[in-house]
Amino acid sequence: MSLAALAVAALASVVPPQPTAFETVNLRMTVDSCTFVPGTVRVTMSSGVIRVNQSLNNCFAAGTPQVVDVQLGALPAGDYRVELYASPQTTQPPVEQLAFQVRDPVQATTFPPGRPLNDYTGLWYNPQESGWGLSLFQGPTHTVFGLLFVYDGANRPEWYSLQGARWTDPMTLTGTLFRTTGPALGGAFDASQVSYLQAGSATLSFMQPPGQEGRARLTYSIGGTNVTTSVVRISM
């Protein structure tokens, strides 16, 4: 095995080690900073086999070890194998192979089911009211964290975090909004100064009538102000 092949074969692992369905899976590698060329990495998949190919520099001396993550994808439940190659082609045997399994997340049995039909992660806004919006992150077990960025009565920016959100049915999410305060930027961060104040609530309905596909109805209440509006996910 060449020095370049040895550089990519060391200390590869799948992260997270026990992924659940449609959770993003990465191949974590310790690489030689001289031989490794990030722009040449290519990932392909066929019949449960994920192939990672790359072109490597020829170096006279070893570079500093670095850790890199290569995204393999958000995969459905099943058995997979990663094959790592030290060249752009697969004509030579892989320098390393890793097998892993993706499992369905454990779901509590409820009726109606508290499991969403889709992943609603992304930035949402009203195209007619650009300047405010909602950021959502939905985890592999369908827990959701959100940030609502709006303005107060004096046109100053306000941020509210959506925490403890739960699915009341497969297309409706509701949770509590909190205003967070803490130490100013630039100084030593003292976590004891961080405080959370319950400020209101928010509900998102992802079921819309024909002609309004891709939109969601956002209803929130903060300090006695009630807002209902339609939002759409920003395409990246």
Structure confidence at residue 187 (pLDDT): 83
Q: Averaged in consecutive runs of 10 residues, what is the pLDDT profile of the chain (236 residues)?
A: 47 90 91 92 96 92 91 94 93 92 72 73 94 92 92 92 92 94 88 92 91 91 94 86
Structure confidence at residue 178 (pLDDT): 96
Q: Assess whether 82 and 17 both reside in one domain.
A: yes
Structure confidence at residue 146 (pLDDT): 97
Residue 170 covered by a domain:
yes
Buried b (16+ CB within 10 A) or exposed e, 68-97: eebebeebeeeebebbbbbbeeeeeebbbe
Structure confidence at residue 106 (pLDDT): 67
The CA-CA-CA angle for residues 186, 191, 197, to 5°, reads 105
CATH of the domain at 126: 2.40.128
Structure confidence at residue 153 (pLDDT): 86
Task: Using alpha carbons, select from 127, 131, 201 the residue that is nearest to residue 163.
Answer: 201
Name, in order, each residue with C-beta under 8 angstroms of 206's C-beta and a sequence gap of 6 or more.
116, 117, 118, 120, 171, 172, 173, 216
Residue 61 covered by a domain:
yes
| This prediction's pTM | 0.72
Structure confidence at residue 107 (pLDDT): 58
Q: Assess whether 81 and 128 both reside in one domain.
A: no
Q: Assess whether 43 and 91 both reside in one domain.
A: yes
Query: 80 near 100, Cβ under 8 Å?
Result: yes
Structure confidence at residue 21 (pLDDT): 87
Residue 171 covered by a domain:
yes
Distance CA(25)–CA(29), nearest Å, equals 13
C-alpha distances (whole Å) from 119 to each of 39, 103, 104, 139 are: 29, 17, 15, 9
Distance CA(154)–CA(168), nearest Å, equals 35
Structure confidence at residue 111 (pLDDT): 46
In the chain, the number of structural domains is 2
Q: Assess whether 85 and 172 both reside in one domain.
A: no
Q: Assess whether 154 and 198 both reside in one domain.
A: yes
Structure confidence at residue 62 (pLDDT): 86
Residue 201 covered by a domain:
yes
Domain around 185: 122-233
Q: Assess whether 64 and 135 both reside in one domain.
A: no
